[in-house]
């Protein structure tokens, strides 16, 4: 009886911690938002320059009805060429995870003329553990918490497993 109550409590704590860790890591950015969107009118270069993308974040191409091509190189991105795509995101598939730091990801619209009109996006993904100088104190605290939380979560999971 007492055991099952403890177990239930631990499960609640573990779930709550997972939720906290989940929101602390990985922001979701809707392309072009809030003023614009994934279209030819929005200056997506300017939009991207306002954000420091970090590993674990994700891009959301909201409601795009056209295929988004991830170009294989900067040269292809510059030339609006999708001839060697890394990935092709069809309409309806709108979430693109950015799991790896230290890379630049290149996205172009495959509709003729759209990329040339500015419907293209280059996103450089930064290391989530490397804070900008201005944000150093709070970010390093968050990084420390990020390291510890999964360990605590694992320990809780082990306790739950032992009790059950
Ligand atoms: C988009 O914004 C960038 C950075 O602010 C600027 O250099 C570029 O000229 C703009 N492009 C257009 C088409 O306005």
Residue nearest to atom 4 of ligand 1 (CA): 46
Q: Does the reported pTM lie above 0.75?
A: no
Contact 7, 162 (CB under 8 A): no
Q: In residues, how long is the chain?
A: 164
The 10s digit of each residue's pLDDT in 46-88 is 999 999 999 999 999 986 777 899 999 999 999 999 999 999 9
Pocket test for ligand 1, best of 45, 115, 116 (most atoms within 8 A of CB): 45
For the segment 94-108, the average pLDDT, to the nearest whole number, is 95
Task: Please state, in angstroms and rounded to a whole number, the distance separating the CA atoms of residues 97 and 99.
Answer: 6
Q: CB count, 10 Å around CB of 65? A: 8
Task: Please state, in angstroms and rounded to a whole number, the distance separating the CA atoms of residues 69 and 119.
Answer: 11
The 10s digit of each residue's pLDDT in 106-158 is 999 999 999 999 999 999 999 987 555 554 444 443 444 444 445 445 554 55
| pLDDT attached to residue 67 | 85
Q: Which residues contact 136 (CB under 8 A, 6 or more apart)?
A: none
Give the atom of ligand 1 at the shortest distance from the alpha carbon of 43. 1
Does the CB atom of residue 43 touch ligand 1 within 6 A? Answer: yes
Task: Please state, in angstroms and rounded to a whole number, the distance separating the CA atoms of residues 76 and 108.
Answer: 10
- Which tokens is 67 given? 């295929």
Residue 129 forms beta bridges with which residues? none
Does the CB atom of residue 72 touch ligand 1 within 6 A? Answer: no
Task: Please state, in angstroms and rounded to a whole number, the distance separating the CA atoms of residues 37 and 52.
Answer: 18
- Which tokens is 154 given? 């694992």
For the segment 96-108, the average pLDDT, to the nearest whole number, is 97
Task: Please state, in angstroms and rounded to a whole number, the distance separating the CA atoms of residues 85 and 77.
Answer: 10
Q: Which residues contact 139 (CB under 8 A, 6 or more apart)?
A: 131, 132
Does the CB atom of residue 116 touch ligand 1 within 6 A? Answer: no
> φ and ψ at 71, to 5 degrees?
-70, 150
Dihedral, CA of residue 129, residue 130, residue 135 and residue 138, to nearest 10: 20
| pLDDT attached to residue 92 | 76
Pocket test for ligand 1, best of 32, 35, 42, 43 (most atoms within 8 A of CB): 43
Pocket test for ligand 1, best of 46, 120, 122 (most atoms within 8 A of CB): 46
| pLDDT attached to residue 64 | 72
> φ and ψ at 105, to 5 degrees?
-105, 140
């Amino acid at each position: 009886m007492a055991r099952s109550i403890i177990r239930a409590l631990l499960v609640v704590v573990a779930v709550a911690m997972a939720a906290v860790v989940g929101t602390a890591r990985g922001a979701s950015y809707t392309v072009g938002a809030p003023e614009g969107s994934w279209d030819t009118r929005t200056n997506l270069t300017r939009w991207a320059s306002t954000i420091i993308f970090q590993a674990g974040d994700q891009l959301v191409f909201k409601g795009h009805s056209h295929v988004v091509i991830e170009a294989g190189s900067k040269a292809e991105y510059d030339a609006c060429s999708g001839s060697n795509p890394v990935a092709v995101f069809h309409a309806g598939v709108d979430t693109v995870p950015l799991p790896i730091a230290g890379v630049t990801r290149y996205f172009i619209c495959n509709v003729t003329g759209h990329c040339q009109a500015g419907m293209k996006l280059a996103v450089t993904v930064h290391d989530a553990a490397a804070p900008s100088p201005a944000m150093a104190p709070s970010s390093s605290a968050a990084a420390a918490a990020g390291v510890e939380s999964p360990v605590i979560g694992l320990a809780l999971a082990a306790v739950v497993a032992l009790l059950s």
